[in-house]
Chains A and B, each alone.
Chain A
Amino acid sequence: AQSVTQPDIHITVSEGASLELRCNYSYGATPYLFWYVQSPGQGLQLLLKYFSGDTLVQGIKGFEAEFKRSQSSFNLRKPSVHWSDAAEYFCAVGARGTNAGKSTFGDGTTLTVKP
């Protein structure tokens, strides 16, 4: 069975600073990988996904993530954080051939942005 770990429960960065949120997964083969963002009182919104091909994936809102097979990681990055990026971020891993809804979600990382 797959699993995903987000080591950082809470991260605080200053507006304009760079951001990296960590995600490590466990799966026997190359999985499908996702990053979602959840704003307060809202459902999750997909930021980006990796299925195959280029290991650097571009998403919405200026986010990108890099799949590193050797490290079993899929870290999310943004070069310059905006105050509106404050939210909770979830990494998810899915088994190939299964429905995206059966993905396993991490516990989330809460991002606070300082002015």
Chain B
Amino acid sequence: DAGVIQSPRHEVTEMGQEVTLRCKPISGHNSLFWYRQTMMRGLELLIYFNNNVPIDDSGMPEDRFSAKMPNASFSTLKIQPSEPRDSAVYFCASSLGQGNEKLFFGSGTQLSVL
């Protein structure tokens, strides 16, 4: 299995632009998570899905952030408009979703908003 695949690996954009981060979970996994990692705040859970349905989006910082999971093999995290304080590494992770089994993380997207 290829693991959790995120794209792009790096994104540099100007303030005000729309940013779309993509994630392909491991086939057969029913839960998908988006995290943000910064030096100041550490690793934060933004939102997670079970069976393509958003379960908890309480970690989404603002309305500028939105996430979708149109099918079991694809999810997007969109920021519009982007701001410099959104600069961080964004991780996607997936799990079987049956309980507290292990998470599988992607390699992350390094986002820089200038």
Contact = CB atoms under 8 A, between A and B. Distances in A.
A25 interface: no
Interface string A59-101: 0000000000000000000000000000000100010101111
B33 A101 contact: yes
Q: How large is the interface on B (under 10, 10 to 19, 20 to 34, 35 or more residues)?
A: 20 to 34
Nearest to A96: B100
Given A43-B91, A43-B108, A108-B42, A101 B102 contact: no
Interface of A: 32, 41-46, 49, 51, 90, 94, 96, 98-102, 105-108
Given A96-B100, A102-B45, A108-B42, 16 more contacts: A32-B100, A41-B107, A42-B108, A43-B4, A43-B105, A44-B93, A44-B103, A98-B100, A99-B95, A100-B95, A100-B100, A101-B33, A101-B95, A101-B103, A102-B48, A105-B43
